[in-house]
Amino acid sequence: MLIRRAQDIRSSEITEESLYWDRRKFIGASAGAALAALIPVAPSLMRTRQDEKLTPYDSVTSYNNFYEFGVGKDDPKHNAHMLRTRPWTVAVEGAVHKPKVFDIEEILRKYPAEERIYRLRCVEAWSMVIPWMGFPLASLLKEVEPTSKAKYVQFVTLHDPEQMPGQLRTVLPWPYMEGLRLDEAMHPLTILATGLYGKMLPNQNGAPIRLVVPWKYGFKSIKSIVRIRLTDQEPPTSWNQVLAREYGFYANVNPDVSHPRWSQKKERRLGKIRKQDTLPFNGYADQVADLYAGMDLSRYY
């Protein structure tokens, strides 16, 4: 009951963040201790919960980057209905003992979504706070048993210009591709999201399944994934292929490393007027900074 699966929640049940919080308060009052026992909440998530308001549902679902549906922020909302999210499969393959093509229904059944409130910061210096529904990517990767050769994980979005007309334009090399080092992929903060605000993921946010890596710039959080491939080499990524000087493989949120065309020191939280400071690793440094011990983060940006 407390860790609810996204598909168990009717879309009429929650329509906006204030109602959402009322529901949370109710759950908290009736079963606070049980909730605390069931969901391990990391310290920086606690901080998010205390100080940072959720970005309204309407903003989360109407101000998006999803170039497969156009390069304007409101294009995905208008065009993403063209994407058919069923049937849908995700192939997990490469350097694994048990490669497998998962049906999305099996994933939803086997890995019930739990709620994670994470900041998402775009490299373009806007940010949101989103109650995602998802599960650790590590769970899925463990099921296919990575071999000792697996050092990186590549992610690939659907490639179908009929459903994704933005792919007819050459703004990016298609399909959209991203990658993580294996330890980043296995980190407990890294999730595959299947919902937000307690509902199924809207198409414009990357239905039916997308990555969320909260300490990295938004472009690492690839949407509408059809393939996950474990590799021994650093995999190519779309943004790095098109503009290597501007978008590195690591893409950790870093206020001290400017994008070549703008500073990364501040960010605009959607719905707020005044800009706020961007935190190292997007505020998750206490949990992830040790992944990069000894690395020159101005070189490996």
Ligand X SMILES: Nc1nc2c(c(=O)[nH]1)N[C@H]1C(S)=C(S)[C@@H](COP(=O)(O)O)O[C@H]1N2
Of residues 95 and 163, the one with the C-beta less far from ligand X: 163
| Position among 176, 197, 249, 284 found at the interface with ligand X (CB under 6 A) | 176
DSSP H helical ranges for 39-135:
43-51, 57-62, 75-79, 104-110
Stretch that binds ligand X, among 60-68, 95-103, 240-248, 260-268 (CB under 6 A): 60-68
Query: Is residue 20 close enough to count as binding ligand X by CB under 6 A?
Result: no
The single-letter DSSP state of residue 259 is B
**Least CB distance from residue 86 to Mo ion, whole Å?**
27
Query: Is residue 215 close enough to count as binding ligand X by CB under 6 A?
Result: no
Please answer whether residues 155 and 227 qualify as being in contact, where contact means their C-beta atoms are separated by less than 8 angstroms: yes
Of residues 219 and 250, the one with the C-beta less far from ligand X: 219
**Least CB distance from residue 32 to ligand X, whole Å?**
30
| Position among 57, 174, 219, 250 found at the interface with ligand X (CB under 6 A) | 219
Token duo for residue 268: 């605009």
**Which neighbouring-strand residues pair with 193?**
134, 210
| Position among 44, 48, 55, 65 found at the interface with ligand X (CB under 6 A) | 65
- CA 180 → CA 9, 107, 252, distances in Å? 31, 21, 11
Cα angle: 60, vertex 66, 70; to 5 degrees: 115
Query: Is residue 120 close enough to count as binding ligand X by CB under 6 A?
Result: yes
Nearest of 92, 75, 111 to residue 203 by alpha carbon: 75
Of residues 44 and 238, the one with the C-beta less far from ligand X: 238
The rounded distance, in Å, linking the Cα atoms of 181 and 179 is 7
| Position among 60, 80, 95, 122 found at the interface with Mo ion (CB under 5 A) | 122
Please answer whether residues 295 and 255 qualify as being in contact, where contact means their C-beta atoms are separated by less than 8 angstroms: no
* Residue 176 binding partner per list Mo ion, ligand X, none, with a CB distance cut-off of 5 to 8 Å that depends on partner kind: ligand X
Token duo for residue 291: 């992944």
CB half-sphere exposure, 272, CA atoms < 13 A: 17
Contacts to Mo ion from residues 187-246, by CB under 5 A: 218-219
Which position's Cβ is nearest ligand X?
Answer: 218
Stretch that binds ligand X, among 10-18, 28-36, 216-224, 262-270 (CB under 6 A): 216-224
Please answer whether residues 278 and 120 qualify as being in contact, where contact means their C-beta atoms are separated by less than 8 angstroms: no
Residues that bind Mo ion (CB under 5 A): 65, 122-123, 218-219
Residues that bind ligand X (CB under 6 A): 64-68, 120, 122, 157, 176, 205-206, 218-219, 221-224
